[in-house]
Each structure stands twice: as C-alpha cells, then as structure tokens.
Amino acid sequence: MELIDQQVINDNKEIYAKIKSELFQAEFEILIATAWFTDEELFNILLSKLAEGIHIEVIIADNQENEKLDFGLLESKGATVYKIKSNGYGGMNQKFCVIDKHIALHGSYNWSVNAKKNNQESIITTDHKETVASLIDTFNETKTRILAQKTEPANANAAPKPEKPKAVPMEVTVKMEDEFRHILDSMIAAEVGSFDRDMLRKHGFERCKANNGDHQILNTALDTLYSVFLNDIDVIEDKKRRLTTKIEEHRIKNLDNITKNGEIQINFLERETELGQADLETRRTNLEAEIEVTSKNIDELKVTKISFLTGKNDELDRQIKLAEREFLRPKFKWFEFIPTAIFNAALLFYLFLFYSSAAYILLFSVADAKAAEAQGVPIAAAQIFNQDAMNKALHKAGTAPYFIFLFVFIPLAFAVIDRFVTGKWVTVFSFVFGIVLLDGAVAFKVTQAVYEVNYARGNTNESWHIGMAFTDTNFYLVFVFGAFGLLLFKLAFKKLMQIFEDRDPDIATQRNGVLIKQLRQEIAENTDKILVLKEETSTLEKAVIQLRADIKLTSQELAALPSALNQNLQRKRSSMLADSKTIDEVAAIYTQHIQSDNLPISINALKDRINVFLEGWDDFLHQQYSVALATLKAGQASEIAGAWQNDKIDNHKISKRVTVI
C-alpha cells in the first residue's frame, strides 16, 4: 500500500516557508504555473537554482504586474518562461508547482507580494503519484496551448543568447540499486503473493458468522491464513519462467535508461563546458577592455588634469615671488590725466557759474525787481540763469559776494563727500540729500523767484503757491542742469582721484597684498583639486590591479576547463559502468533466488491478507450487532490480530522467506 506524504497549510508564513524549502531542495527540475509572480525573493531563489544547473520552466499571465521582475534575466540564465496573453487563450488562474517530478504544491497561493503579506491563502503539498502526474500533464497541456496560440516567451524581443542546456539530475535521489530492487520486489510480490481478495474477505465473514463473532478463535484462523499464505508464495515452474523473463526485461530497460541518461548528462557536461568557456572568454575580453579604458582615464588624470593644475600652481607661485620681491610704481598715465583734469575744470567752472547764478536769483532777483518798480524803471525779464550774477553780487554791499561764492561749495561738497568719508550710508546720503533734495530745493526757490519777478512785471495775474513749481518748466530745467552737472562732476572727480591713487605707494602695496592673498588662495584650491585627482588615480590604479588579477584567475579557469571536463566525463562513465554492473548483479541474484525457490517477500503482503480477512470479519459484526457493539468487537478482533502479528515477529516464528523490514 502506497504511503502518501500530504499536508494542508493555511498560514501564509508557513506556505511561504514551505515553498522556499522545497525550491532549495530541488535537484533537477522545477515547473511553475502561477497567474501572478512578483515576489523577488522567490525569483532570486530560481536564479540561484539555475546556477546549480536545475531545469526551470515558468508559466505566468501576460499582465503589467508581471513586468515588475526581469523574466528576461531568468531566460538568459537558462529558464523557459511562457506568458499567456489576455486575448485568445487567456484567463490564466493556475497556481501550482511541481518539483523533481515528485512533490507538488497547489492551491490558492500566487507567487506575489500581496499573497505573502495580505491575502488569506491555503495550499496542499503532496507526493501522491497520480496528483503529481496530473499536474505535470496540465502544465504540458497549458504549454502546448500557449505555443499553439503563438504566444512568445517573455522577453521575446531581447537579443538572442546562447541556449543553455537543460539540466538533468546528476545525482538521483534514490540509489539505482535500491530503486531496481524495489521494482523487482514489487513485481515478485505481485506475481507470487497474489490472491483472491473477495474470496478472502468472504472467508473472514463466514468464519466470524460460524463463531458468532467470537474473537477468541482468531489465533487459530490466522494460523490457517498464514499456512495458506506460505503455500501461495511457493514458486512453481510457470511462475519461475514469468519472473525470470520480467527480471530480464527490467534489466535491459534499466541498462538502456542508464545509457540514455548517461549520454544526456555527458552532452550536458560538454555543452556546459562550451558555454562556460565562451562566458570566461567574454569575461576576459571585457576585463581587458575595462583595463584599457581605466588606463586611459589614469593617463588623462595624470598627464592632463594633474599636470595642468601643477603647472598653473607653478605659474601662480612665480607671480607671488615676483610680487613679494619688488613693487614698481605704475607709470603716470598722461593720456588719462589730461582729459580728466580738463573735464573736471570745465565741470567745476560750470557748476560755479550755475550755482552762483542760482544763489543770486533766489537771493536778489525779487528785491531787484521791487527796487526797479519803486524807481519807475522797467523790470528786466527774469531767467533761470543770470550771467551777470557774480558782477552784480560784487556791487552789493556787505557779505553778499562771499555768500554767493561759498554757496557753490555746498552742492560740490555733497557730490564728493564719499571720497573722504567711507561707508555705504555716506554714498546714499550724499546722493539723496546733496543732489536730489538740495538741488530740488534750489530749483524750487529759483522757480519761485523767476515767477515772482514775472508777476511783478505783470506777466501773470495769479499769486505764487507751492503747487506751481511742479507744473513750471523752469523747475525741471534747474533741477536737471544742476543734478546732472553734480553727477558728472562726481564721476570725473572720482576718476581723477583714481589716477593719483594708482601712483600712491601705500595703496599699491595694499593692492599687491590682496593680489598675493588671492594667488595663495587659488594655489590652495588647486592643491586640493590635485589631492582629489590623485586619490581618484590611486583608486583607478587599484581597480586595474584587481582587473588584472581577475584576468589571471579567468585564464586559470579557462585552462582548467578541459581537465575538469575530462574528470567529470570519466567520473560519469565510471558511474554508468558501476550502475550497469550493479543492475546485472542484482538481476542475477534475483534470478538465482527464483531458481532456488528462495524468493523473499515482504511481510506487508501477509499484513495485507490479514487486513482483508478482518474486513470480512467486521462486515459480519456490523450486520449482526448494533454499531456500538460491532465497533467494540471489531476493536477486540484487531487487538488479537495485532498481538498475533507481534508474537510471530518478536519470537521469529515467521518464515525466512518473509522479510520483516
């Protein structure tokens, strides 16, 4: 009777642990069919199994979720990946995995992150042969239907890569000798130990009926059953011929399987060696190319960048030494000084005339008009500029001429005050107050004086008020002529002072000190850059050393491949010879046992007969008595049968032809 290892798992963590465990134990083949496959950890396990030479095939749904993992990478390592498109043959909802054609995991669990963390799932793990075979058939049928629909494997557009040979089991889980013996034992048991189950069950029913269910007579009944069993396993000539023929058939079949499997494994080893050699040669070529690129980068850093910065620092250092060694006073720039001096003198003369005229107008023009009116003299027309201002002021009594002369220096002082007092606020103050406000006040008062003179002459009938200034053209003319004159004088005077400052040894020394400081700072910055570049160069040189070591190791691996292949082939051929010899020896032993009437048969065959007999016994009990009483009597009968078996085994009362283990 087949012993089935089957388990139902409902906890997601236990499901996940079980899948990982079975994948890690896979020895030659993994078949996966799952609608969603987004679990990266399971994906990485498959990659590691491919590296071990395991044959892997995957069927997944063709949807966007399944694009999260790089199944093209899985294919490049030797796996076969199929995607079921949504049109035509779609609706992919399978969730199972078959490992080594021996264990199956199937249920509701997709190989997705959501299934692992969120869903409520359940699976069944089983080694039931019919179930495993059925799922393999389903997998192959699904694959066939995908190919019939011309569904391309995942990453079909990727560049073609060398096909990796499908892996075959290099070590079988059950030793060939034990497997062959198991087949022969099963065949012999089926041939020698066969019996009519219905008749034996009926015999148990009749024996129970004859004794009215008395379990005390079971020992005698079982002794009789045992005697019949021994008689049945005696081998007659006809059975000998059939068994000998079947043993020979199985021997030839197993030898043929050994040869075919060996050839497949030898081809696999040779193909794997070819691919390994190609991979190693490609790797060596890539390493050599990487060394070449890295060496060019090193040369560029040393010859170009570091040399440039070093040369630049040498030049800066030369400039510093020159600046520290001597200071030469700059030549006097007459071509700048002469026009600047003329321009300053002209502006100064202009401002002196303009502001002396303005001062006379705002001080005396109205008084002169009134005096002329009192004397009956015609009043002269008022203008914003009086060319006779200084001449008239000199004829005035008292300090009037001095005041007019000194008045000119007030706006001039505001124009050049920032040359003597440092600070940003001084520049702002001199511009806002000295030019805008002061010049605006002068323009206002001159405009008022001109207007009042014109009023006195009768040119206008409206008395002066403040608002008139901002609508009078004279105000803007005075303001513009004064402000622009001051601004131009401010700039011209600044340029004149600059010419003399350039000739000042103290100022030149300060500037020279600032220059030296800047040069030293630039040298420090360049030095830091050189250190960084040297560190980068050192890192690249270490990388080149490592790359050369990798090339050497790769070359050694390439050189070792033929020897390793020969050793593996020799080992495999030796294993094939040993397996063939073992099969021949086991077949000869079993044939000899048959010819000498010394065939062993498992005690399970005897237990099987006892169980069938007790089934008939139980049939009568449940027919004759109530369920409770029948169950009680059946339990008593089972205890008697168990005690009888133990007595036979423990006291060695079993025939030597019956193997207990």
Residues 6 or more apart in contact with residue 438 via CB below 8 angstroms: 410, 411, 414
440 and 519 fall within a common domain = no
Pair 324, 584: CB distance under 8 Å = no
pLDDT tens-digit series, residues 368-385: 767 766 766 666 666 666
Q: What is the pLDDT of residue 114?
A: 81
pLDDT tens-digit series, residues 419-476: 777 666 766 776 777 677 777 888 887 787 777 777 777 777 788 888 887 888 888 8
In a domain, 647, yes or no: yes
In a domain, 444, yes or no: yes
Pair 660, 648: CB distance under 8 Å = no
In a domain, 251, yes or no: no
Question: Distance between CA 31 and CA 136 in Å, rounded?
Answer: 8
341 and 489 fall within a common domain = yes
Instruction: Give the residue from 256, 429, 289, 445 showing the smallest Cα distance to 365.
Output: 445
354 and 491 fall within a common domain = yes
28 and 112 fall within a common domain = yes
516 and 627 fall within a common domain = no
In a domain, 118, yes or no: yes
pLDDT tens-digit series, residues 6-19: 888 888 888 888 89
Residues 6 or more apart in contact with residue 517 via CB below 8 angstroms: none
Question: Distance between CA 624 and CA 206 in Å, rounded?
Answer: 12
pLDDT tens-digit series, residues 390-428: 666 666 666 667 777 777 777 777 777 777 776 667 667
526 and 616 fall within a common domain = no
398 and 487 fall within a common domain = yes
Range of the domain at 89: 6-148
Q: How many CA atoms lie within 13 A of 579 on its CB side?
A: 25
Q: Which amino acid is at 608?
A: D
- How many structural domains is the chain composed of? 4
Last residue in a domain, options 502, 525, 552:
502
Beta bridge partners of 57: 31, 80
Bridging pattern class, strands 103-107 and 55-61: unpaired
Ramachandran quadrant class, 316 (left: phi over 0; alpha: psi -120 to 50; beta: rest):
alpha
In a domain, 605, yes or no: yes
In a domain, 512, yes or no: yes
The separation between CA 15 and the C-alpha centre of its own chain, rounded to angstroms, equals 27
pLDDT tens-digit series, residues 171-184: 433 456 777 777 77
135 and 185 fall within a common domain = no
Instruction: At 478, give phi and psi (nearest 5°).
Output: -65, -45
Lowest-confidence range among 183-192, 338-347, 399-408?
A: 183-192
List helix spans (H) across 36-175. Answer: 40-51, 71-76, 113-117, 129-148
Q: How confident is the model at residue 162 (pLDDT cuts 50, 70, 90)?
A: very low
Question: Distance between CA 395 and CA 535 in Å, rounded?
Answer: 87
In a domain, 66, yes or no: yes
pLDDT tens-digit series, residues 210-254: 988 888 888 888 888 888 887 776 655 667 777 788 888 888 988
CATH number (domain holding residue 27): 3.30.870.10
509 and 496 fall within a common domain = no
340 and 324 fall within a common domain = no
In a domain, 642, yes or no: yes
Pair 484, 436: CB distance under 8 Å = no
Q: Is the dihedral of CA 478, 480, 484, 486 positive or negative?
A: positive
Last residue in a domain, options 484, 502, 520:
502
How far are the Cα atoms of 316, 322, 326, 500, 504 from residue 331, in angstroms, in the given order?
24, 18, 15, 11, 11
Beta bridge partners of 6: 126
216 and 88 fall within a common domain = no
347 and 462 fall within a common domain = yes
